[in-house]
Amino acid sequence: MPDARAKKTLKKLGELAQGVVKTVLKGVDPSLEIPSRSLSNVSFDEKKSIIELGDQKQQRQLFNVGHARKFMQTFLIASACKDLIEAEKTTSIRDLYYITKHTMGDSKQNTFEEQDESDPIIEDLEVTIDTLREELNLFASNKGSMVGPITIVDAGDTIDLRHLGSGGWSVPSIVEDHTIQFRKHEAKFVLLVEKDAVWRRLNEDKFWVKNKCILLHGQGMAPRGVRRLIYRFNRELKLPVYVLVDNDPWGFYIYSVVKQGSINLAYESVRMAVPEARFIGLSSLDAEEYQLPANVTIKLDDQDERRAKQMLAYPWFNKRTWQREIRTMLRNGVKLELEALSAKGISFISEEYLPRKLRDKQWLA
């Protein structure tokens, strides 16, 4: 039996189809209105502090040679998602491509040639009916692990994240509340770490026990499941979120995506971005502050410099503190990896660096 959320999504999919049927019955050419995902329709909302989509829409018409193929594809994807939800199964976007790919009639025309044709249609569908792909029962890659003082329920299993050893719980891609529910917890905050090696260090040192935090990593850029979970921890459990990344433009970017979303997926910010997220390090000022040896710094390459300069101009980095942060990186001409802290001792990060940062409130918001 589909649950309440599934019913809501099914209703939206049904209305999309019925809308088209109605126009046809009225003798009007069928068409869809799809919110535009182009750059010109993306902006940073200063008040909400997220990157979001504007109101521009585009028409997709069946009786237009330039639109017909995409029109057909949109309903093919919508129909497959409806089947998925009704069957209570989930699948990957790669799988959905194979499920919906077929050769039409006696022609040599395929419904989709490559996955790069079906992926944007999924995004179209998400924005058109205002639904996350996870609600369409589609998942992205499984990445990231989690431990912490919290019990969750996942697909009917009660999991105590306090006792998952050195490995931790694999964060699935779909973490919506119909799949994952939160139970008893003693967490005071959430710490997202860019690198799994650093996560392992913090887990081994029981940093999360001593500091009562939920500890996650995203193996680089935080995947959708991790972002959505952090969002839920922040909203539902009112937990502050700290992000710990390398001191380089890529680390800053990872943080900024967690905090206000990305330009590419601007339509999702409203349910993925955590504007309250705090950047706890590595800061460009840390090498001096924590007296790290000069030989652990790495020279910025041309791409780093270009990226850092671009970031100076982004409205979401247009704060005194962030301008100082990025300018310091450019002036010093170097970047730092999280592992560089190990030059001060293997557990320096868990026993000195992070506790001091938290105690002295040395983060950027």
Residue 120 vs 167, nearer CB to a copy of itself: 167
d(CA 118, CA 74): 9
142 binds a copy of itself (CB under 8 A): yes
The piece of 53-61, 128-136, 162-170, 236-244 that touches a copy of itself (CB under 8 A) is: 162-170
Determine contact, residues 37/267, Cβ cutoff 8 Å: yes
Determine contact, residues 240/189, Cβ cutoff 8 Å: yes
Q: Minimal distance in Å, beta carbon 280 to a copy of itself?
A: 19
Catalytic site residue from 97, 98, 231, 314 = 98
Interactions with a copy of itself, residue window 102-121 (CB under 8 A): 102-103, 110
Q: Minimal distance in Å, beta carbon 149 to a copy of itself?
A: 14
CA angle, 16 then 19 then 20, to 5°: 95
- Residue 290 annotated in active site: no
The piece of 42-50, 147-155, 247-255, 270-278 that touches a copy of itself (CB under 8 A) is: 147-155
DSSP letters of 270-283?
HHH--TT-EEEE--
297 binds a copy of itself (CB under 8 A): no
Choice from 32, 42, 84, 311 touching a copy of itself (CB under 8 A): 84
Q: Minimal distance in Å, beta carbon 56 to a copy of itself?
A: 33
| Contacts by residues 59-64 (CB-CB < 8 Å, ≥ 24 positions apart) | 59/31, 59/32, 59/33, 59/34, 60/31, 60/32, 60/33, 60/34, 60/124, 61/29, 61/30, 61/31, 61/32, 62/29, 62/30, 62/31, 63/29, 63/30
Q: How many residues does the chain have?
A: 365
Determine contact, residues 210/268, Cβ cutoff 8 Å: no
d(CA 219, CA 143): 7
88: region left, alpha or beta (phi > 0 left; psi from -120 to 50 alpha): left
Q: Minimal distance in Å, beta carbon 351 to a copy of itself?
A: 11
Q: Minimal distance in Å, beta carbon 343 to a copy of itself?
A: 5
d(CA 286, CA 336): 9
Binding mask 168-197 for a copy of itself (x = CB under 8 A): xxxxxxx----xx---------------xx
153 binds a copy of itself (CB under 8 A): yes
Which active-site residues does the annotation give? 98
**Sites of contact with a copy of itself (CB under 8 A):** 84, 87, 89-92, 94-95, 97-99, 101-103, 110, 139, 141-142, 145, 152-159, 163-174, 179-180, 196-197, 199-201, 204-205, 219, 293-296, 337, 339-340, 342-343, 346-347
